[in-house]
Amino acid sequence: MKYVLASGSERRQELLHRIIDEFDIIISDFDEHKVLFENNVDKYVITLAKGKALGVKESLKEDAIIIAGDTIVVLDNKILGKPTSEEDAYNMLKLLSGKTHRVYSGIVVINMYNNKIEEKSLYTEVKFSTLSDDEINDYIRTGEPFDKAGAYGIQGYGGVFIEGINGCYYNVVGLPLNLLNKMLNKVKE
């Protein structure tokens, strides 16, 4: 069977290699900005992931199993995306400081061989330490916050800010391996 990851994320690619040896990468041209957030985070992340998966499906000329995901950070029902500037990163990290937030992922797996589709969402709670302005500014200078939802990476320098998590660690990195493995098994039945 051919597998396709609908993501250019190096983190997702690295994690997927723990489940699947060989897969192609096709970056979806799905416009995430078209999806409106209507106060239902689970539905929102699944809609984003499904848009990516269907976009890649349309471009394929042969059957494959398509894997797509989207991960967002949510604090007090407010979505914290990828920061657009140092000031934006600072404001996000200041908001997260000393609080518990949720990291949600939507995962969609499409098996084109048998037309089965699995779509799921889950969240992990992440507790941040209280951060000083110096800690935030030093972290921003590493450059790490700029391609990460919520302006931090748990698997990188940002991991030192995490007091604890409740849920799947790999979800916070960007691809919940346990859930994805179960979904892959289900679409292959």
Q: What is the DSSP string of 6-74?
A: ----HHHHHHHTTT-S--EE------GGGSPP-S-HHHHHHHHHHHHHHHHHHH-SS--EEEEEEEEEE
pLDDT over 90 at 139, yes or no: yes
pLDDT > 90? residue 171: yes
- 148-166 pLDDT, tens digit per residue, is 999 999 999 999 999 999 9
Nearest to 44 by CA among 148, 112, 123: 123
Residues 176 and 18: their CA atoms lie apart, in Å, by 11
133 pLDDT exceeds 90?
Answer: yes
- pLDDT-derived band at 33 (thresholds 50, 70, 90) equals confident
What pLDDT digit, counting tens, does each position of 48-73 carry? 999 999 999 999 999 999 999 999 99
Tokens linked to 3: 């597998």
The CATH number of the domain covering residues in 3-187: 3.90.950.10
Assess contact for 115 and 162: CB atoms under 8 A.
Answer: no
Predicted structure pTM score: 0.93
Average pLDDT of every residue of the chain: 95
> Within 13 A of 120's CA, how many CA atoms are on the CB side?
18
- The whole-number pLDDT of residue 42 equals 95
Domain edges within the chain: 3-187
- Measured at the CA of 30, the angle between CA 102 and CA 49, to 5 degrees, comes to 35
CA-atom Rg of the chain in angstroms:
17
Mean pLDDT of 101-121: 97
pLDDT of residue 32 exceeding 90: no
pLDDT band for position 77 (50/70/90)? confident
* pLDDT value for 7: 92
d(CA 187, CA 183): 6
User: Would you name the residues annotated as active-site residues?
Assistant: 70
Residue 181 has pLDDT above 90, yes or no: yes
What is the average per-residue pLDDT within 17-45? 93
Give the pLDDT band of residue 14 (cuts 50, 70, 90): very high
Contact 83, 151 (CB under 8 A): yes
